[in-house]
Amino acid sequence: MNNDIKHMKRAIKLAFLGRGRTKTNPMVGAVIVKDEKIIGEGYHENYGGPHAEINALNSITSIDEAKDSTLYVTLEPCNHEGKTPPCTEAIINAGIRKVVIGMLDPHDIVSGAGVKRLTDAGIEVVVGIDNEEISHSLTNLYESYIVNITSSMPFVTMKFAMTTDGKIATYTGDSKWITGNEARKDVHLQRSMHDAVLVGIGTVIADDPMLNVRLERSDYPPHMIAAGSKFKNPTRVIVDSQLSIRVDSNILKTAKDIDTIIATASDDEEYIESIKAMGANVIVCAGGINHNNNDKVNLQKLFKELYNRNIATVYVEGGGNINFSSLRDGLVHRLHAYIGPKIFGGAAAPSPVEGPGVQEVKDCYELKLRTMQTFADDVKIEYDVRYK
């Protein structure tokens, strides 16, 4: 394998360690190489924290070693003062001779400016590596960031678990469990990698969920354990137009410990204040369902507001009505369907996407298959959602 490919692959692997922690910042990994040996590496670990290039430089025992080295970085280094000083200056000051960049930053305030600053300082800059696997990995790494930057909206993944005959509960409402332990662990891992998890009030009333991350350290993939990654609870978002959530629900009882947002169309100030006193935030955004129903939450407004609050990725976990509304409002980018090897049958048994549905086949929401994975006897299918 060519060395550029080898080092960029390592930088990409490092970048992914920041998943779920960088909020509206992109995940970035960096590797510093001298005489064909890796002398430093790092990744953007936390929103507001040092960027990958700085962490890689800081990992070198003596900064003098960086002189005449090559930096491999997954995204164009920034050239502006943000929460941290510009990375280009640190690269120039360290005496790095060559910078290999995976992808130009699509963000207006960076795009091209980082490359220009480096080349103006006499550093050799290479943008992009001609390799299919690298391109594919970079697309995966930056798909949510590109959605964030181009639409100022979060990247949204919808998840559901269903039986092989497409049911999410029996006709009596019994639903525990449709999939096995391994698949459920994957769901918890996915939760920990998202900034927010969102459900409708129907799910809260039916299941009284916690929507937190319940994993043992050993459940993390080995490379994440090695990097010292810790589990993180996403912000919990409950869509509850009429403020039907009970003060003794698991969500409100734990709202002081886990970030919680109740999105509502209600103007019941008294109940809003008591919810706030329990530790939850409240977002009022009416006008849902075709934008003309002031009794329902407007999901488009809600998702925009979540992005304004630095929530860059949302994991929608149902139920069927919220799933349908999210699809109909054009908000979903990715679908994770977990399928358990069970059949419930029953015309009255619920399915993962309900609401009114579409009238004709031509009106359907189309999916494009990405990957399939098995967890013991369960199957996980990942799709892209294609809006017409």
Residues near ligand NAP, by CB under 6 A: 160-161, 168-169, 173, 175, 178, 199-203, 206-207, 239-242, 244, 288-289, 296-297, 299, 317-322, 325, 350, 354
The DSSP bridge pattern shows strands 29-34 and 37-43 to be antiparallel
Which of residues 66 and 178 has its CB atom nearest to ligand NAP in the complex?
178
Answer whether the bond into residue 49 is a cis peptide, omega within 30°.
no
Q: Closest separation between CB of residue 321 and ligand NAP, Å?
A: 3
Alpha carbon of 380 to those of 176, 241, 310, 327, 350: distances in Å?
18, 32, 29, 20, 20
At 303, which helix (H) or strand (E)?
helix 299-308
Residue 388 CA to residue 285 CA, distance in Å, equals: 27
CB of 380 to ligand NAP, least distance (A): 12
The encoded tokens of residue 75 equal 């995204």
Nearest 5°: phi and psi at 97?
-90, -35
| Helix, strand, coil tally for the chain in percent (to 5) | 30, 25, 45
What is the enclosing helix (H) or strand (E) of 368? Answer: strand 366-375
Tell me if 53 sits within 8 A of 118, measured CB to CB: no
Which token pair is 338?
A: 């977990």
Nearer to ligand NAP, 206 or 278 (CB): 206
Q: Could you tell me where the DSSP H helices lie in 112-227? A: 113-120, 132-151, 181-192, 201-207, 222-226
Contacts of residue 244, defined as CB under 8 A and 6 or more positions apart, other chains included, come to 201, 205
d(CA 200, CA 186): 22
The residue length of the chain stands at: 388
Contacts 24+ apart (CB under 8 A), 254-258: 254/210, 254/212, 255/279, 255/280, 258/212, 258/233
Least distance CB 329 / ligand NAP (angstroms): 8
User: CA geometry: angle at 249 spanning 220 and 296, to 5°?
Assistant: 100
Q: How far is the CB of 5 from ligand NAP (least distance, A)?
A: 39
With respect to ligand NAP, which residue has the nearer C-beta, 24 or 190?
Answer: 190
Nearer to ligand NAP, 111 or 290 (CB): 290
Of residues 94 and 199, the one with the C-beta less far from ligand NAP: 199
**Nearest distance from C-beta of residue 324 to ligand NAP, angstroms:** 7
354 counts as catalytic: no
Our CB check for ligand NAP shows the closer of 115 and 302 to be 302
Quote the least distance from Cβ 138 to ligand NAP, whole Å: 31
Among the listed residues 36, 41, 45, 53, the single catalytic one is: 53
What's the closest the beta carbon of residue 156 comes to ligand NAP, in angstroms? 14
Residues facing 384 on adjacent strands: 334, 368
CB of 252 to ligand NAP, least distance (A): 16
Q: Which is nearer to ligand NAP, 16 or 344 (CB)?
A: 344
CA 239 – CA 196 distance, rounded (Å): 13
In the bound state with ligand NAP, the residue whose beta carbon lies nearer, of 19 and 296, is 296
* Distances from the Cα of 198 to the Cα of 117, 218, 260, 262, 331, angstroms: 41, 26, 10, 10, 13
Q: Which among 82, 153, 67 has a CA at the least distance from the CA of 114?
A: 82
Q: Which residues are catalytic?
A: 53
